[in-house]
Amino acid sequence: MSNQTTLTQFLLLGFSDVWELQILHFVVFLVIYLAALMGNLLIITAIALNRHLQTPMYFFLMNLSILDLGSISITIPKSMANSLMNTRVISYIGCVTQVFLFLLFTATDFALLTIMAYDRYVAICQPLHYERVMNRRACVQMAASAWITGILYSALHTGNTFRLPFCQFDVINQFFCEIPQLLKITCSDSYLSEVGGIALGVFLASNCFVFIIVSYVQIFRTVLKIPSEHGRHKAFSTCMPHITVVALLLFTGIFAYFKPTSSSASGLDLVVGVLYSLVPPVMNPIIYSMRNKEIKAALKKLIVWRLFTKS
């Protein structure tokens, strides 16, 4: 490592140095971003305008779509702009902002998915108490607690990372600023100083994961006792999208943060970055739209209404 210095910018890892491939990267990312934007905005609009979807489950789903929009909007636009302008630079403040917001949206996302598991548990295992337990005030408090938890964790982790001294080697081996790559260019024993933040993150994620697993064990036990095959299918259909989304976020995150690290730029770093930062925001609306009849009906009604008003 070089001597410690005060950095004003970082260099992100580009997908290619060839201008034509940079344009291709811009077009591909633009398509991905527009797909995520359209999918999540349709979910938010359908839930907001449909009276039949004013329930706790869809309230949390709308929050999830807002988080997906935020997480993809802080990574893709900067990468597209860099490709278009043939540059790799991101300012120090821009990097801090990316890290803080990405951690905020990801942590809040996982907390919200945990709350959604609890919502499904109460709805299926304790249906007589559902309206009392999951009332409007309780839902708002739960959603607010998820956001506050995300803000606090993100502030702690981001502050702990950027208080470390960085060296003159300012190249980040990723297309956006992320903590594992930033730790590689610090001039101190960064992993020891970060152990508190990492331990807290693992503790929170583990507790959320265990809670989700326990909730769905109880849910499946209850569902299997339902005598009607139609009733069992209906109960499973409301749970499967949530389980799929949790698995997608969890496994892509684990693959990103627990893969072997390398000090040199790697194509695998870029692939993993795309996998866990872009795939969930794009896939979540598709998963919920395909597996949920009420969402499909609301989206169809919304699209038909828009076409009718235009006509």
Residue-level pLDDT at 142: 94
Q: For residue 169, give both structure tokens.
A: 């080697």
Residue among 71, 136, 75, 134 at smallest CA distance from 108 = 71
Residue-level pLDDT at 223: 83
- 213 contact partners, CB below 8 Å, separation of at least 6: none
Residue-level pLDDT at 98: 94
Residue 160 · residue 182 · CB < 8 Å: no
Strand partners, 171: 11
Residue-level pLDDT at 264: 46
Tell me the C-alpha distance between 121 and 283, whole Å.
24
- 266 contact partners, CB below 8 Å, separation of at least 6: 173
Residue-level pLDDT at 1: 43
SS (H, E, C) the chain: CCCECCCCEEEECCCCCCHHHHHHHHHHHHHHHHHHHHHHHHHHHHHHHCHHHCCHHHHHHHHHHHHHHHHHHCCHHHHHHHHHHCCCEEEHHHHHHHHHHHHHHHHHHHHHHHHHHHHHHHHHHCHHHHHHHCCHHHHHHHHHHHHHHHHHHHHHHHHHHHCCCEECCCEECCCCCCHHHHHCCECCCHHHHCHHHHHHHHHHHHHHHHHHHHHHHHHHHHHHCCCCHHHHHHHHHHHHHHHHHHHHHHHHHHHHHHCCCCCCCCHHHHHHHHHHHHHHHHHHHHHHHHHCHHHHHHHHHHHHHHHHHHC
Residue-level pLDDT at 256: 64
For the chain, list the domains and their CATH numbers: 16-56+65-104+150-211+245-310 (1.20.1070.10)
Residue 176 · residue 95 · CB < 8 Å: no
- 195 contact partners, CB below 8 Å, separation of at least 6: none
pLDDT tens-digit profile, the chain (311 residues): 444 456 778 888 777 778 888 888 899 999 999 999 998 998 898 888 888 888 898 899 999 999 999 999 999 999 899 888 888 899 999 999 999 999 999 899 989 989 998 998 998 888 888 989 999 999 999 999 999 999 999 998 888 888 888 776 678 888 888 887 887 787 766 556 566 666 777 778 888 888 888 888 888 888 888 777 777 777 777 777 777 788 777 777 776 666 655 544 466 767 777 877 888 888 888 877 766 777 777 777 777 766 666 55
Residue-level pLDDT at 163: 84
